[in-house]
Structure 1
């Protein structure tokens, strides 16, 4: 580093131009009179005494009388510590600027566009680590393994996790042994897909698939926007694809985080005359207070029910209003799904705890 560069850096560290020049000159001279220092740099003679006193007060040099005012540089340990401290602050500031540029702080009801895919994945991991009730994600094999530890922790906390693994023709699907313990159910989509993670009905992390020419990401903290991505997930990444792994069994209790999926299973049982006991956790739509109700589901209704009964009910028939009627402690409640406004309760989870028939077994076709 030449003198000019060193002087410029010392100025950045807080010295005036004259102070920086005088200090660099003195480093080369060792010990020198004020006059000699002035001659070795561009500091005017009348100013050199004030400049040296200022450098001494800052701890850079020490002065003494020897025929004339003489100066020498002090042990630079204090100066070096100060410069290194400033360097660390600059590095910290640089990292902070980069982090904030890559990942703007999210506030309520906000949509942010970010420039790097890594930002989207890192934010998805953080949200998975904080998830409370449900996660839906569409990822390729590499992305699955990157998020697998966080998914396993969320699964251990009881979070319902639907995993869609989307692969190109030349990509391998993770073995079931690797998938087990990371999700409630996994399906395979044999077509590449965008990266998509939905958490607790509120957060969305989205980025185009790896073959896209554009690299960007969308981070959403808003239930309405996330609901739109939810339907993309159901129709494109979930509904028609083969199941790789599931924890669900015919035995109860069976929990649902989507009323539409619950209605699909409950309606046939009601048509067979079953008594269905269930617990609903959710919110009152008028006050947003949390509520937990245990009772009997006596009816279900959905906008597409007049299209004719099919088994299973096509997703298109459940795209409109869906509700269930729950009788709990003698009171009848209308239970709605995600975003319910007409029903009294918006269900977050519906857990079917018991299914009973008047006879010991469900009726057969001959009956």
Structure 2
């Protein structure tokens, strides 16, 4: 480092310009009189005595009388400790500034706009690590590989994970081995798409496609806002696209992403003519407490003309009623209010074989 740069750095570390110049001059001179130090630096002669005394107080130099005031640089250990301590504080401050800029705290019921995709995917990873019930993910192959360890851990602890992988075209198909141990089902969207990660119906992490005109991300810790992202995921990232991986062979038990998916299959199973046994993991709508119920389907209430109607109905109330050991329990989907339970995981555990 050149002398000028060293002086500037010492000034940044807290020395005055005169103190920095006098100290650097003493490092080069070794031991010198106050007059010699003044001549070797730009410190005015009348000021050099005060400058040397303040440096001595900081333990940068030591002075003594030998006919005239003499000075020499003190052992550098104190100086080095001081500079390194300042460097550590500056580094810590830089990291804190970056953290506060990129990762605003998400309070319950809160949403934040961020500018860096790194923040979006890091938050998605933390959401996945904390998830207890369900994860829905729309991502590229490369980002799936980055999140795979967290997704694999979630799957192993019983979280229902579903992944929609998007590629730039239909010719680029994801390798099914990417999904082994990572999710229970995967679909392929052969079009660019935003990054979306939803965890436990409460947390959402969203970012536009990198080629999009808009460049920002959204972080959500709120059921209502996450519900909007859920419908975006369901209608554009999931429902229209081909399944490319399923963790289990067709058969029972069969787990459902949404109560509407369940109702669609209940029609095919002719639930009114043969018993269909359903297990529901969810929350009591009046208390918010977790509850698991298993029983036989005894009623299906839909907002359309009849259960024979085809298509994936996206609006209106859908309710499934179970007989659980003599108790009638009504089950709704995400955001259920009037039913007994909001079902977060719906699993057919026994049903007649469809010919």
Q: Same fold, TM exceeding 0.5?
A: yes
User: Which residue of structure 1 aligns with residue 340 of structure 2?
Assistant: 344
The CA deviation at 1:184 is 0.8
Show CA shifts across 1:171-229 (max 9, x none): 62222223222211111222221122211111222222232234322222221111111
**Would you say 1:286 and 2:286 are equivalent positions?**
yes
SS in 2 for 1:154: helix
Corresponding residue pairs, total? 355
Equivalent-residue separation in structure 1 for 2:135 and 2:204 (angstroms): 10
Q: Label 1:14 to 1:203 Cα distance change in 2 as closer, same or farther (>3 A).
A: same
Moved more, 324-333 or 69-78: 324-333
Equivalent-residue separation in structure 1 for 2:85 and 2:138 (angstroms): 45
Equivalent-residue separation in structure 2 for 1:40 and 1:113 (angstroms): 55
Moved more, 336-345 or 317-326: 317-326
Equivalent-residue separation in structure 1 for 2:51 and 2:179 (angstroms): 70
> Conserved in 1, the CA contact under 8 Å of 2:170 and 2:191?
no
Moved more, 234-243 or 119-128: 119-128
> Conserved in 2, the CA contact under 8 Å of 1:195 and 1:207?
yes
Q: Which runs of 5+ in 2 are unaligned?
A: none
User: Which residue of structure 1 aligns with residue 326 of structure 2?
Assistant: 330
TM-score, normalised by the number of residues in structure 1: 0.87
User: Which residue of structure 1 aligns with residue 183 of structure 2?
Assistant: 183
Structure 1 residues 217-296: aligned runs within 5 Å: 217-296=217-296
The CA deviation at 1:244 is 0.8
Equivalent-residue separation in structure 2 for 1:308 and 1:334 (angstroms): 17
User: Which residue of structure 1 aligns with residue 120 of structure 2?
Assistant: 120
**Would you say 1:314 and 2:297 are equivalent positions?**
no
Q: Label 1:83 to 1:297 Cα distance change in 2 as closer, same or farther (>3 A).
A: same
**Would you say 1:79 and 2:79 are equivalent positions?**
yes
User: Which residue of structure 2 aligns with residue 173 of structure 1?
Assistant: 173
Equivalent-residue separation in structure 1 for 2:324 and 2:112 (angstroms): 42
SS in 2 for 1:275: coil
Equivalent-residue separation in structure 2 for 1:22 and 1:72 (angstroms): 11
The CA deviation at 1:114 is 1.5
Show CA shifts across 1:101-132 (max 9, x none): 22222221222221122222222222222222
Q: Which runs of 5+ in 1 are unaligned?
A: none
> Conserved in 2, the CA contact under 8 Å of 1:302 and 1:318?
no
> Conserved in 1, the CA contact under 8 Å of 2:332 and 2:342?
yes
User: Which residue of structure 2 aligns with residue 24 of structure 1?
Assistant: 24
Equivalent-residue separation in structure 2 for 1:299 and 1:101 (angstroms): 52
Show CA shifts across 1:49-86 (max 9, x none): 44323322322111222112211002223312321232
Show CA shifts across 1:213-250 (max 9, x none): 34322222221111111111111111121111113545
Equivalent-residue separation in structure 1 for 2:94 and 2:66 (angstroms): 47
> Conserved in 1, the CA contact under 8 Å of 2:321 and 2:329?
yes
Equivalent-residue separation in structure 2 for 1:171 and 1:88 (angstroms): 51
**Alpha carbon RMSD of aligned pairs, Å?**
2.5
User: Which residue of structure 1 aligns with residue 350 of structure 2?
Assistant: 354
The CA deviation at 1:27 is 2.2
User: Which residue of structure 1 aligns with residue 6 of structure 2?
Assistant: 6
Moved more, 325-334 or 246-255: 246-255
User: Which residue of structure 2 aligns with residue 68 of structure 1?
Assistant: 68
Q: Label 1:189 to 1:170 Cα distance change in 2 as closer, same or farther (>3 A).
A: closer
User: Which residue of structure 1 aligns with residue 151 of structure 2?
Assistant: 151
> Conserved in 2, the CA contact under 8 Å of 1:155 and 1:181?
yes
> Conserved in 1, the CA contact under 8 Å of 2:271 and 2:297?
no
> Conserved in 2, the CA contact under 8 Å of 1:270 and 1:299?
no
SS in 2 for 1:303: coil
SS in 1 for 2:296: strand
User: Which residue of structure 1 aligns with residue 88 of structure 2?
Assistant: 88
